[in-house]
Structure 1
Amino acid sequence: MDVLILRFDAPLMSFGGVVVDQNNPTWRFPGRSMLAGLLGNALGLDHRDTAKLQALQDRLRFAARWDAEPEPLTEYQTVDLGQAFLVDTGWTTRGRREDRKGGSAATGTHQRWRDHWANGVATVALALDGDGTPTLDELEAALRRPARPLFIGRKPCLPAAPIFLGRRVAEGVKAALAAEPLAEIGPRRRPARITALWPLDEGEGAGIEERFDRRDWANNIHRGAERYAVGLLEVAP
């Protein structure tokens, strides 16, 4: 199997999660929809290309690990819409204002809590199941020369180094991840044990993690669970 190796090294990262009201959590490891969005951005797709993003997400196969242990960080955002110059305004999402109709939400204080991982380094092995577009060659080309600047989960989460490491051949994404040497992390803390997440059909782990990380791109909601194996990973020196 041909596998692409990605490395996420950034001051802040966010891997998506199910949003509940004003709370925006993040998964411990990258999610399927988050990776589809990052790759779609590299390819030059946008949120109107729902069929292409859905097809890409459905074909993704990946495994992920932490090379440098991250620290959880919650960003608190607030704005008082009662101020004169902010009347009839709201949050802006994808260039469009989110107005609130009636009640205190239209004029009061808006708050959001967004979770991130700080100062970590993660490595991801990624492949595509089945045939279709894009091909792995097209993904590799897009990651080498992305159509737009890339970010890791949220727009403020800019990478500190190029994301694409290279192309490998392995039995699966788990095997490719295990064969990839750990990143040089300088003074940052190495995890006491290297834990990873990988597809269930590539071997058992210490446990199973079920996540709602499948996105319905046409309706802009998360819908559909995915189960992954999680456990210790023996990494080549």
Structure 2
Amino acid sequence: MTEYLVFRLYAPLASWGEAAVGESRPTATYPGRSAIIGLLGAALGVRRDDDEGQRQLRDSLAIAIKQRSPGSLMRDYHTVQVPASQAKVTYRTRRDELSAPRRVINTILSSRDYRCDGLWTVAVWLTPQAELTLEQLEQALKAPHFPLYLGRKSCPPAAPLAPRREVSALLRDVLDSGFPPLCGKDEGDESRALRLPESALYAWEGATDALDGNGQGVESSEVWDMPLNRRRWQFGPRVEYRRVVRAREER
């Protein structure tokens, strides 16, 4: 039997960053390890430049996700004007930048992707070398030190995270446990309002059969979302397992 902390993530907009090249800022369909660690760190009050606090979070927790809905993709188009670099010229504020001569102003085009009306269940549990407790994390999510957001500051949660601790022999039983409906009176109302798909995606770390003791239909890949240094924005690889479960297969 293992003790888990389980909570829910929902917002009209969420952005789960992936590797970004050039002007495009894509989003994954569900939160990765870095996003969950960042959210829990904000709840605890661990700053990005607190290397020891970030290390404790990284080494103490294992995570799993149930994606009830990836939401729909929205792409936000940006134009930003910035002055070109000039020798012996320092722009200390945004006002200084905008006051620069028009001849040195450049326009940067970029796009940022978001997931609209996505819904995810998250479970975390302690590793053997953990220096934190699930009770600390639960209380932090109920009364966070810093504001919480789903990937970007423009994406605050739109529903209570409703964190709770559960003890179970199977990880899937915890991820399948219910929460109060976001809308309507029951899960059927919620499913229709959010247009939840007929299948759910499970993603976890650990072992191939860690979800429910059944390793069939499981795929794995190396994902680069292990936070190594928040100040330098460095990430390392980990192995993630995934399985899609159709509604008729769910218990």
Q: Give TM class, smaller chain.
A: 0.7 to 0.9
Structure 1 unmatched ranges of 5 or more? 100-105
**Which residue matches 1:213?**
225
Structure 2 unmatched ranges of 5 or more? 98-103, 182-186
Task: Identify which of 149, 168, 171 aligns with 2:169.
Answer: 171
RMSD: 2.9
Q: Name the stretch that deviates more: 147-156 or 14-23.
A: 14-23
**Which residue matches 1:162?**
160
* Cα contact 1:181–1:235 (8 A) shared by 2: no
**Which residue matches 2:59?**
58
CA spacing shift, 1:218–1:29, aligned 2, 3 Å? closer
**Which residue matches 2:146?**
148
CA spacing shift, 1:78–1:89, aligned 2, 3 Å? farther
Residue 200 of structure 1 deviates from its aligned partner by: 4.3
**Which residue matches 2:110?**
112
**1:193 and 2:230 are equivalent in the alignment:** no
Residue 64 of structure 1 deviates from its aligned partner by: 1.0
Q: Name the stretch that deviates more: 158-167 or 39-48.
A: 158-167
Q: 2: CA distance between counterparts of 1:15 and 1:91? A: 29
SS at match of 2:64: strand
Residue 181 of structure 1 deviates from its aligned partner by: 6.5
* Cα contact 2:12–2:118 (8 A) shared by 1: yes
SS at match of 2:28: coil
Q: 1: CA distance between counterparts of 2:59 and 2:224? A: 13
Residue-by-residue CA offset, 1:114-150 (whole Å, 9 max, x unaligned): 2211111111111121244321111111011111211
SS at match of 1:52: helix
**Which residue matches 1:232?**
244
What is the TM-score normalised by the length of structure 1? 0.81
Residue 54 of structure 1 deviates from its aligned partner by: 2.4
> 2:132 is aligned with what amino acid?
P
**Which residue matches 2:43?**
42
Q: 2: CA distance between counterparts of 1:69 and 1:19? A: 20
Q: 1: CA distance between counterparts of 2:46 and 2:53? A: 8
SS at match of 1:125: strand
Q: 1: CA distance between counterparts of 2:31 and 2:109? A: 25
> 1:72 is aligned with what amino acid?
L
Residue 107 of structure 1 deviates from its aligned partner by: 3.0
CA spacing shift, 1:90–1:14, aligned 2, 3 Å? farther
Q: 2: CA distance between counterparts of 1:20 and 1:89? A: 26
SS at match of 1:137: helix
Q: Name the stretch that deviates more: 212-221 or 3-12.
A: 212-221
What is the TM-score normalised by the length of structure 2? 0.77
Larger Rg: 2
Identify the structure with the greater strand proportion: 2
* Cα contact 2:24–2:110 (8 A) shared by 1: yes
Report sequence identity in percent. Answer: 31
**Which residue matches 1:129?**
127
